[in-house]
Amino acid sequence: DASVLEGNCFCQTGFHYFLGRCWRSVDFGGSCTRDEDCLGTLRDPYNMACRENTCACAVGYYERQRGECRRIGAAVGDGCVIDEDCRFNNGVCNQNTFQCIVETSPDVLADIVPRNITARTGIRSHGTVCGATNPCPSPFQCSSLGICVCPSGYYASS
């Protein structure tokens, strides 16, 4: 599982270092035998778990898109990055403090809603079939599963 390069130990391709050893790397939705197989991101190595032999979001996390497991903001004061992280009634993310708050009035929202968001309307290609002869329209990208998905930084609207 490990190799040595110039006196330093590294995990081989297809493995990752976690808790003192190299583990087989399994992506979201892949087949696993233990939690350590499932590595989401190095920023938060606990965001996935092996559930019924499949890598899925761990308890306390939700799937946002394309297997991205994000921590649930369950109460006021919990950390967040986007409104969707705050999973309680009228919960929104304060973009100044990155903490969940309760949406109380339009005045509060005026202070916390980011101003650099561009909405693209009329494009309905998220989740449609794509391939070499059937490319996705911009800004969508054709995934390895052959479906159009939003690129990083873009998110499908509800």
CA atoms of 146 and 151, how far apart (whole Å)? 14
CA atoms of 70 and 57, how far apart (whole Å)? 8
- Taking only the tens of pLDDT, the chain with its 158 residues reads 545 555 677 888 888 887 788 888 888 999 999 998 887 666 677 889 999 999 999 999 999 887 888 899 999 999 998 999 999 999 999 988 899 999 874 545 555 455 445 555 445 577 788 888 888 887 787 877 777 877 665 666 64
Cis peptide before 139 (omega within 30 of 0): yes
> Measuring CA to CA, which residue among 156, 92, 93 is closest to residue 119?
156
